[in-house]
Amino acid sequence: MSDNALEFLLNRQSVKFVKAPGPNEEQLAKILQAGMSAPDHGKLRPWRFSLIRQEIMPAFVDKLFATSQASATPIPPNKEENARRWLKEVPLLIAIACHRDHSNTKIPEHERMLAVGAATMNMLNAAHMLGFAAFWSTGLGTYIEEVNEMLGFDPLDYRFMGYLAIGTPMDEVFPITRPDYKQFVKEFRP
């Protein structure tokens, strides 16, 4: 592995506030293809993605909040205002779901969810390596069944896992200090 690639991984960080330009079609294809390189027990390919582009974002947001308000657990009004302000500039949202595949009882659902998480992390890394900023959000009605259905992810067959916002940072991104890995590692001794 080149030192440059490792530096990209070590310096990646989530950036919520992004604007256009977002990835072009070739860059988006690379980002999505990076997701296909995730570990995947049983080759189930449980990841499912739905693209929400900037030109339909206002209609998406309207439908999202109308759907939320009709649910048993609506998104609070103060969250709606913040979400509208945030999404106004986002050039690309990728809705992320895990296909449950009830026919496969050998591989537990949590392993499928881990595969989708790994695919999403690969996409975050790919976006970063292509010079974009990205943010994985589990807000915006992620846990509201009606919102899942609105996005085409029937809760019986899919577990919705949030959104990936990708674009150009609105503000300068400053390096952050990461914790020392030694705080989280111990040596096993029998």
The pLDDT value given to residue 31? 98
| DSSP secondary structure code for residue 86 in this structure | H
Is 36 in a helix, a strand, or coil?
Answer: coil
Which among 130, 135, 133, 136 is positioned nearest to 172, based on CA atoms? 133
Which among 41, 84, 42, 91 is positioned nearest to 66, based on CA atoms? 84
Residues in the chain, overall count: 190
The pLDDT value given to residue 12? 92
Q: What is the pLDDT of residues 41-56, one digit of tens each?
A: 999 999 999 999 999 9
The pLDDT value given to residue 97? 97
CB environment 160-169: b (16+ within 10 A), e (fewer): bbbbbbbbbe
| DSSP secondary structure code for residue 170 in this structure | S
- Low-confidence stretches of the chain (pLDDT < 70) are 1
- Please, what's the largest Cα pairwise distance for the chain? 58
State the Cα angle at 86 between 23 and 19, rounded to 5°.
Answer: 30
The pLDDT value given to residue 102? 81
Q: Using CA atoms, how far apart are residues 29 and 147, in angstroms rounded to an integer?
A: 26
Instruction: Look at the pTM and tell me if it is higher than 0.85.
Output: yes
The pLDDT value given to residue 75? 85
186 phi, psi to nearest 5 deg: -135, 160
Q: Using CA atoms, how far apart are residues 185 and 24, in angstroms rounded to an integer?
A: 40
Instruction: Assign domain 8-184 to its CATH superfamily.
Output: NADH Oxidase (3.40.109.10)
Please, is 65 exposed, middle or buried when counting C-beta atoms within 10 Å of its C-beta (0-12, 13-18, 19+)? buried
The pLDDT value given to residue 1? 54
Residue 23: how many other CB atoms lie within 10 Å: 22
* Contact between residue 104 and residue 63 where contact means Cβ atoms under 8 Å apart: no
